[in-house]
Amino acid sequence: MANITEAEIRKIVENIIKGNGASAGASWTSTEYQGRKLLGIYSDMNEAIDAAEKGYFAVRAMTVEQREKIITEIRRLTYAEAPIMAEMGVAETGMGRVDHKRLKHILVADKTPGTEDIVSEAKTGDNGLTLTEMAPFGVVGAITPSTNPSETVICNSIGMIAAGNGVVFNPHPNAICTSNYAVDLVNRASRAAGGPEILVCSMDKPTLDSAAVMQSHPKIKLLVCTGGPGVVKAVLSSGKKAIGAGAGNPPVIVDDTADIKKAGKDIIDGCTFDNNLPCIAEKEVFAFRNIADELIAEMQKNGAYLINKEQADRLNAVVLEEKTNKAGKTIKTVSRHCVGRDADVLLAKIGINVGKEIRCIICETEFGHDFVQHELMMPILPIVRVDSIEEAIELAVKAEHGFRHTAHMHSKNIDHLSAFAKAVETTIFVKNAPSYAGIGFGGEGHATFTIAGPTGEGITSARSFTRKRRCVMADNFRII
């Protein structure tokens, strides 16, 4: 294990158990880790951008082989330090599960494409040769979420460096220590692989003001934001080229041709992954009436706890809060104290005491129920009974709210599968598997934690962070 000893890891875990850590500032802060200063962290966004620009110049001067060496080292450190970032993420944000966060880091290390993703094109003809290359933008400004903080920093860094860019991050304030640990990891990897000591940068206290400086700074050539609708809207209004990875509310349809035993397990596995924090995770189920009882029974065999309508209403009052928006309208928002919490912790809030073997709360609801309509990001799964594929598709498309993010289906009927995929128009559509198969975990294809539906880049990778440039050699350079 590089740069960090077993003893250090033990100390962190002890600190977390004692309740120390990020919030108490005992083991780490947004600028230090166990007394070691984190590399690349600034108090002023302008300074951070200047430093990231130096990183960009350094990457631009490197050979592709040198960039790949740094990326290999990032992968190695991510593997080695996944347990630390997983513990830290849960301790700092209070959200998610340590075991699953560890797997998410390993997925990023294994399946985020590097420089091989950058491919040039050549076109030859009577008039010679035209070459199209994928060039870096320059310095990228990246805004990252609290739900996958270090995973997103590392995944974005690998792709952006592979593409030849520099990066400055403005992470979520609630996950700043974990995000900055990942920024430091990338810089340590760079240093160890012969690159600059400060390759990527971040803020010690990121705010909306520092995000605004980033969004309007002339040195920032591309904005990449991963988060809810608010931030996507903000960066798309910035006047700069922006990649927006926004909110989802993934529906699941289960028809009566599905393998119900497998569907029940897959849905609970996907829905409970990191306590439902991933934006791709199953959020509501539309089940054919004739298989709904069997599906619920299979879910119960896989760690789901069924609550009744009265209990669901009480839980609803706890997990959703009423607020008045800027226009003076009353709206419901998810309680930050409930997002990403364990199922038993949520059940305890309405007086139901169960053990850790319960990993999901399920309930039957109407389509209009808040649990169906809101992106809860908690292991709570509403199930709506439907009578036909037409009804299932109509309701599932409505529940997805036009985010065009992710949808799932369990069926063996090709016509049903095709009809839903066409109607819902999501960036990711997973058939007969847990949701995480859609980002390469148990499914084919590369991984990302930045799924850009609104701006169309989809499952982002290095090539998403490039601009195309053309070079023309007229009348020559053909070999035939």
Where on the chain is the footprint of ligand NAD (CB under 6 A)?
Answer: 143-148, 171-173, 208, 211, 226-228, 230-231, 234, 245-248, 279, 375, 449-451
Our CB check for ligand NAD shows the closer of 196 and 270 to be 270
3-class state of residue 103 by DSSP:
helix
Q: Which is nearer to ligand NAD, 146 or 411 (CB)?
A: 146
The answer to whether 141 and 220 have CB atoms below 8 angstroms apart is yes
| Complex with ligand NAD: residue 202 or 411, whichever CB lies closer | 202
CA atoms within 13 A on the CB side of 421: 14
Q: Output the DSSP codes for 308-326.
A: -HHHHHHHHHHHEEEEE-T
CB of 14 to ligand NAD, least distance (A): 28
State the DSSP string of 52-85: HHHHHHHHHHS-HHHHHHHHHHHHHHHHHHHHHH
In the complex, what is the shortest distance from the CB of residue 129 to ligand NAD, in angstroms, rounded to a whole number? 38
Q: Give least dist CB 293 to ligand NAD, A.
A: 31
Of 93 and 190, which has the nearer Cβ to ligand NAD? 93
Spatial contact of 197 and 39, defined as CB atoms under 8 Å apart: yes
Q: Considering beta carbons, is residue 172 or 240 the nearer one to ligand NAD?
A: 172
Q: Min. distance of Cβ 207 from ligand NAD in angstroms?
A: 8
211 vs 350, beta carbon nearer ligand NAD: 211
Q: How far is the CB of 204 from ligand NAD (least distance, A)?
A: 14
Beta pairing class for 428-431 and 406-410: parallel
Amino acid at position 258, single letter: A
Distance CA 91, CA 137 (A): 35
> DSSP per residue over 127-154, as a string?
TEEEEEEEEE-SEEEEE--SSSHHHHHH
Distance CA 65, CA 56 (A): 16
Q: How far is the CB of 384 from ligand NAD (least distance, A)?
A: 21
User: In Å, how far are 167, 193, 280 from 201, measured between CA atoms?
Assistant: 6, 18, 28
State which residue, 156 or 411, has the beta carbon closest to ligand NAD: 156
- Residue nearer to ligand NAD on the CB measure, 114 or 227: 227
* Least distance CB 130 / ligand NAD (angstroms): 34
Cβ 451 to ligand NAD shortest distance, Å: 4
Three-state SS at 439? helix
Comparing CB distances to ligand NAD, the nearer of 283 and 410 is 283
- The CB-nearest residue to ligand NAD is 227
Q: Shortest CA distance to 112 belongs to which of 142, 166, 157, 178?
A: 157
With beta carbons less than 8 A apart as the criterion, state whether 149 and 178 touch.
Answer: yes
> How far apart, in Å, are the Cα atoms of 477 and each of 21, 122, 166, 249, 469?
61, 11, 33, 52, 18
Minimum Å gap between C-beta 279 and ligand NAD is: 3
